[in-house]
């Protein structure tokens, strides 16, 4: 479940509440914070939290798919990878979407709740797999974006909760998310 909306409207509170209720109902739940801040949620059984960082997601991707196990110890290569994640268009976005989809795909949790970026960033992130798929006609990137798109497009797997306030600007931005 992806929770998004304009900044400052309570998305983190809503995401935490959804995750807490799911955990209390016996679902093994993961709450993912995409803004780098530790989620503020009561500790309870069945609830795990994860703070997304681009650097850690990139290191995990390299270890899983490129098969370089200890990228953090590779000095110059690690610095180069950090530079690429910051400089290349779409790298941060695909890492963010890929990390969340990977966590959901592992099956370790019944429910994955994502305290997503604000709506402007969110739209960019979830559209990145389609953009990359259009560029990669074959190979590993194509295969990975195919399963991400399938997961994000399946309403039995992925839902989006848009949090807003009854004000003109947040309401207008939230309405655009439906299109």
Count other C-beta atoms under 10 Å from residue 59's C-beta. 21
Task: Look up the pTM and report it.
Answer: 0.80
Q: Is 23 exposed, middle or buried (0-12, 13-18, 19+ CB in 10 A)?
A: buried
Give 123-158 pLDDT, tens digit per residue. Answer: 888 888 888 888 888 888 888 899 999 999 999 999
Give 71-108 pLDDT, tens digit per residue. Answer: 555 555 555 555 555 555 577 788 888 899 999 999 99
């Amino acid at each position: 479940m992806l929770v998004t909306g304009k900044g400052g409207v309570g998305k983190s509170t809503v995401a935490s509440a959804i995750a807490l209720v799911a955990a209390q109902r016996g679902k093994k739940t993961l709450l993912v914070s995409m803004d780098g801040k530790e989620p503020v949620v009561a500790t309870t059984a069945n609830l795990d939290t994860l703070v997304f960082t681009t650097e850690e997601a990139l290191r995990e991707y390299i270890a899983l798919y490129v098969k370089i196990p200890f990228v953090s110890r590779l000095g110059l290569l690690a610095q180069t990878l950090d530079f690429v994640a910051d400089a290349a268009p779409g790298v941060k976005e695909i890492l963010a979407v890929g990390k969340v989809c990977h966590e959901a795909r592992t099956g370790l949790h019944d429910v994955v709740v994502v305290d997503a970026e604000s709506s402007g960033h969110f739209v960019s992130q979830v559209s990145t797999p389609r953009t990359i798929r259009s560029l990669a006609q074959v190979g590993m990137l194509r295969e990975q974006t195919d399963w991400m798109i399938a997961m994000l497009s399946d309403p039995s797997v992925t839902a989006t909760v848009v949090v807003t306030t009854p004000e003109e600007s947040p309401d207008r931005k939230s309405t655009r998310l439906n299109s």
